[in-house]
Amino acid sequence: MVIIPTEKRFDWQHAPVVLFSIVLLNVLVYFFYQVNDDKKMFEALEVYSQKNYITLEWPLFRDFIRQQEDSATATIAQSESNSAELQNYQQMYDNDAFEILSVSMLIRQDFYRYLIKIEPKFSTNDARFDWLDTRARINKQILTISSLNFGLVPRDWSPITLVSHQFLHGGLMHLMGNMFFLIICGFAVEAAIGHKLFLAFYLLSGVAGGLLYMAFNWGGHTPLVGASGAISGVMAMYLAVFRLQKIEFFYWFFIFVGYFRAPALFILPFYLGKEIISFVTDTDSNVAFMAHTGGFIVGGVLVLAQLFWKPDLLNQEYIEQDEAIDPLQKKLAGVYQAMEKCQFQSALKQLKPLIAANNRRFDWQFLRCKLAKIDGGDELDQALQGIFSTKKPSPAEVEQLESLWQDSSTDADKFDAKARLNLAMNFCQLKDLSSAEEIFSSLHKISKPPTNLGVLARRLSLNFGDANNQKKSQYYEQQAEDLMEAGH
């Protein structure tokens, strides 16, 4: 479930300079520093695997974990954690999950220091020197990986990594998701509390998220990366800025989508409860729920505390400024509210005029098809006829078109030939050309094939040629020549 505040619209009179700088820095760090991390890890693993070092080092790694478990300085909780850790590693080894186990061993700098100290036993000095040199190069490569260099590792943290981990991300989708939520909430918070405080509170929320993560993962080796703690803090700041003022929220829960208004702080327990429940129940998740929780608590407390000491902190003129209600958004909200109440016919009735005014909105047309399918009747055929005529759809939209076509292709003749031809042209973007072939076959059989059917045949011929299917490529090339000679 997603709930995000949407009370304020972007306003260039209150330009979010700090917000844009943070987003730009995150993007630059990812694309100019982190982008080769997977390649670096793969190269290190490749050498490690070729040398078969896991056979040499696994017994030593097992002994190393046991020593930590039995250490006199280890707490009961640490000993239990080490015991569970060793059991997990042993299971990896027994199940031949050597690549995952190798990664776990390679990222442990404490294990590497232990290895260098005790040194495995070798049959010759040459083998020993080769291992020392190769293992040092592998470790040097590992240390260039961003998450290990500047991520927040609970067992080996520093004041620098408490801040630097906030500007690293685990992948492109992680980056995009975080930046989306940051922009949605950040520009209003910066306009309300000012540039300097926004930057300070953002970083402090991220630090708080990192500290709470470490508190629940003390002694752990998995690095924390991502701006999620800081962004959770920004979301809490948003709620603290508006406090008991009723503001607009957007929600998305499975198929239920819409808007509602509620006092801002009433959502605070929901956010916190969701993160804590997820932390308790979703134990196998890679999401750092406690980092979110720490950032969220501190972000809200910072703004509320600052308001206590300086009541005139907020830009009240900006906060109280009435936002012009977007008529289109209001109409869409009516559609979503009808869907939420399972009033699909009403939702369909409200959606049709929106499509009539802007039939280029593929998402609206796709929603119309889904609603018409639920409602039944002749409306579905009209909706499909409209969406099948879509010009220049994106690759993702083509896949959605094919799913609609597969559901309705048994009655293909009810759609006019021009729409079907357009659809087949679009399907030529797909790897699987069976739907395009099916439509070509049906159009080829009618008494007056549509104009440009020969163009479709040629596209099929070229695509099959690219796929090294010469038999079909030649077949459709011949069809193209015959149709073009006949004026089709």
Domain ranges of the chain: 2-34+159-320, 37-150, 327-485
The answer to whether 296 and 272 are in contact (CB under 8 A) is yes
Q: Do 432 and 399 contact (CB within 8 A), yes or no?
A: no
Q: So what's the architecture of 327-485 in CATH?
A: Alpha Horseshoe (1.25)
Nearest to 185 by CA among 4, 1, 323: 4
In this prediction the pTM is 0.63
User: What pLDDT is stored for residue 20 in this prediction?
Assistant: 94
Q: Which two tokens stand for residue 242?
A: 């508006």
Structure tokens at 69: 């478990």
How high is the pLDDT of residue 269?
75
43 alpha-carbon distance from chain centroid: 26
- DSSP β-bridge partners for residue 355: none
> Which one-letter amino acid corresponds to residue 443?
L
**What are the contacts of 35-39 at 24+ separation with CB within 8 A?**
37/145, 37/146, 37/147
pLDDT value, residue 218 = 79
* 2-34+159-320 and 327-485 in the same fold: no
User: Is 205 within 8 Å of 232 (Cβ atoms)?
Assistant: yes
Position 306: which residue type?
A: Q
> For the structural domain made of 2-34+159-320, what CATH number should be given?
1.20.1540
Given a cut of 50, the residues of the chain with pLDDT beneath it are 72
**C-alpha pair distances (Å), 414 with each of 56, 409, 453:** 69, 10, 18
Burial class (CB in 10 A: 0-12, 13-18, 19+), 267: buried
What's residue 109's pLDDT? 87
Helices (H), 376-431: 379-388, 395-408, 417-427
How far is Cα 480 from Cα 455, in angstroms, rounded to an integer? 7
Q: Which helix (H) or strand (E) is 469 found in, with range?
A: none
